A and B are shown apart, each in its own frame.
Chain A
Amino acid sequence: QKEVEQNSGPLSVPEGAIASLNCTYSDRGSQSFFWYRQYSGKSPELIMFIYSNGDKEDGRFTAQLNKASQYVSLLIRDSQPSDSATYLCAGGDTGRRALTFGSGTRLQVQP
């Protein structure tokens, strides 16, 4: 059973702080990892993806991947109230095949 685990939250951080979202996965065949943001009642929106061990930065977002520990994280710097949403972590194998999603972490950024 391929699983992606996330803490459901809510994770509450003050405006301007760093939000740290974590995800673990059980399938060592997973090669690529994706973070999606989903506002209530809306569809998931891709934030960023990561394939290689280490960090990948895109604006205020940094994804971190540790394949040995089967751990993926997303850091959001200078958190804004508009970042309040559910963040979904997903893992996939090589190629354009099925993604396995976690159940998401709800982030609340307090003004």
Chain B
Amino acid sequence: DAGVTQSPTHLIKTRGQQVTLRCSPKSGHDTVSWYQQALGQGPQFIFQYYEEEERQRGNFPDRFSGHQFPNYSSELNVNALLLGDSALYLCASSAQPGGYTFGSGTRLTVV
């Protein structure tokens, strides 16, 4: 049973560019959440998708946007990249209240 799959694993972008990160949830999971984790910090909630709609959003600017597809997979898009966007981006999926399963993450470096 495949867990949460994220791609790519590593990415280097230049300031001002745009990036798209992808996530496939664990089989049977219909809810996808995205988190940003800066070095030495806990994950910070970006947004959550359920039934292809953004259900909840954290305190992130509109440069961060997302999408969920009918097969429950999801994308995170970040526009106009800043140096401060460098972080580990984590996708988490769930099917019921009982904890989220995290993917291995995408390490984004903005130079």
Choose from B40, B98, B101 the contact partner of A49 (Cβ within 8 Å).
Answer: B98
Known: A42-B104, A43-B102, A46-B100. Is A97-B43 also a contact (CB below 8 A)?
Answer: no
Interface size on B (CB < 8 Å)? 28
Is A80 part of the binding interface, using a Cβ–Cβ cutoff of 8 Å? no
**Contact indicator B100/A99 (Cβ below 8 Å):** yes
Nearest chain A residue, comparing its CB with the CB of B57: A98
Interface size on A (CB < 8 Å)? 24
Main SS at interface, chain A: strand
**Contact indicator B42/A46 (Cβ below 8 Å):** no
Contacts of B66 in A (CB 8 A): none
Choose from A94, A96, A102 the contact partner of B42 (Cβ within 8 Å).
Answer: A102
Choose from A34, A46, A97, A101 the contact partner of B44 (Cβ within 8 Å).
Answer: A101
Write the residues of chain A forming the contact surface with B, with a CB cutoff of 8 angstroms: 4, 32, 34, 36, 42-46, 49, 88, 90, 92, 94-104
